[in-house]
């Protein structure tokens, strides 16, 4: 696999097609995909920290035809990479170097697809099998939840609720909210527990937990884990002011 092939394999949406040379010879990258690869929410958030000469617009080819889009010039590219605290920034730096080097040497980036070797095809096949094995348990859990028969831990419930544009919450905030709503209380050890009436009305579930003592090997009973049912999710979605449908699908 060549340096440029790494762009396709990285899987962060940044591709060689997003790079180019301006008429004045400056290298640039399309701001949208580069910002996403650097961990920014969108291009506007990324270019906000750049000087005016580090950003601009260029006409580039897109599936919908030639369009003028926001771009980041080479100095801005390095500025965002150096600012980044992402673990992937170092790898991204190497990828960008490879692209810019080819742009300077040839004026273009070769995007022709290189035939895969038998070894590469085998590696991709094995990777796909591993990915499917990882996704199968999660897919089963989602299908069970969507059927109305399952439940989620509070962190998972918060993630689903936060899919609604009108709701912003997290694990701890959702615990506190359910406490204020009279669904939960803290026991003598400071652990969250569900009130019995919330279990009986089907909004919450209480799952017994246990672990083996590392020294004695004895089974130790832990405080039960609070779980949120589909009925509980629907009620929380309504109380928190959800404006869209409750999206249970993965």
**Are 123 and 162 part of one and the same domain?**
no
- Determine the 3-state secondary structure of 153 from DSSP: strand
One domain for residues 127 and 166: no
pLDDT surpassing 60 at residue 201: yes
Q: Is residue 246 part of a domain?
A: no
**Tens digit of pLDDT for each residue in 49-93?**
888 888 999 988 877 778 899 999 988 888 888 777 777 667 777
Give Cα 211 distance to the centre of its chain: 31
Q: Do residues 9 and 109 both lie within one domain? A: yes
pLDDT at 82: 78
138 within domain boundaries: yes
Chain centroid to CA 47: 21
pLDDT at residue 118, rounded to an integer: 55
Average pLDDT over residues 92-118: 62
Q: Is the pLDDT of residue 180 over 90?
A: yes
How many domains is the chain partitioned into structurally? Answer: 3
Q: Do 13 and 110 lie in a common domain?
A: yes
Res. 133 pLDDT band, cuts 50 70 90: low
The verdict on residue 247 lying in a domain is no
Mark whether 109 and 130 lie in a shared domain: no
Chain segment 206-240, per-residue pLDDT in tens: 887 766 767 777 777 777 889 998 889 889 999 99
Residue 105 lies in domain? 4-115
**Structural domain contains residue 99:** yes
Same domain, 21 and 77: yes
Residues 58 and 142 in one domain: no
Percent of the chain residues past pLDDT 70, beyond the cut: 71
Judging by beta carbons within 10 Å of its beta carbon (0-12, 13-18, 19+), is residue 11 exposed, middle or buried?
A: exposed
Domain identity same for 141 and 155:
no
> Is residue 14 in a domain?
yes
Q: Is residue 95 within 8 Å of 10, Cβ to Cβ?
A: yes
Residue 46 pLDDT class (50, 70, 90 cuts): confident
41 and 122 part of one domain? no
* Predicted TM-score (pTM) of this structure: 0.41
């Amino acid at each position: 696999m060549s340096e440029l092939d790494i762009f396709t394999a990285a899987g962060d949406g940044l591709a060689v097609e997003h790079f180019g040379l301006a008429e004045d010879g400056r290298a640039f990258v399309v701001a949208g995909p580069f910002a996403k690869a650097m961990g920014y929410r969108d291009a506007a958030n990324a270019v906000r920290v750049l000087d005016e000469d580090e950003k601009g617009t260029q006409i580039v080819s897109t599936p919908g035809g030639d369009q003028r889009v926001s771009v980041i010039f080479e100095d801005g590219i390095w500025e965002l990479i150096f600012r980044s605290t992402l673990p992937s920034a170092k790898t991204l730096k190497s990828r960008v170097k490879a692209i810019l080097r080819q742009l300077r040497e040839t004026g273009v980036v070769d995007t022709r697809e290189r035939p895969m070797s038998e070894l590469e095809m085998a590696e991709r096949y094995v990777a796909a099998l591993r990915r499917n094995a990882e996704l199968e348990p999660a897919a089963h859990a989602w299908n069970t939840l969507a059927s109305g028969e399952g439940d989620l831990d509070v962190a998972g419930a918060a993630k689903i609720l936060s899919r609604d544009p009108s709701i912003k919450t997290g694990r701890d905030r959702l615990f506190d909210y359910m406490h204020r709503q009279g669904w939960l209380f803290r026991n003598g050890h400071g652990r969250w527990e569900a009130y019995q009436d919330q279990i009986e009305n089907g909004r919450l579930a209480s799952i017994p937990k246990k672990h083996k003592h590392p020294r004695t090997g004895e089974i130790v009973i832990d405080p039960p884990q609070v779980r949120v049912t589909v009925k509980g999710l629907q009620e929380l979605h309504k109380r928190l002011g959800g404006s869209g449908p409750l999206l249970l699908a993965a």
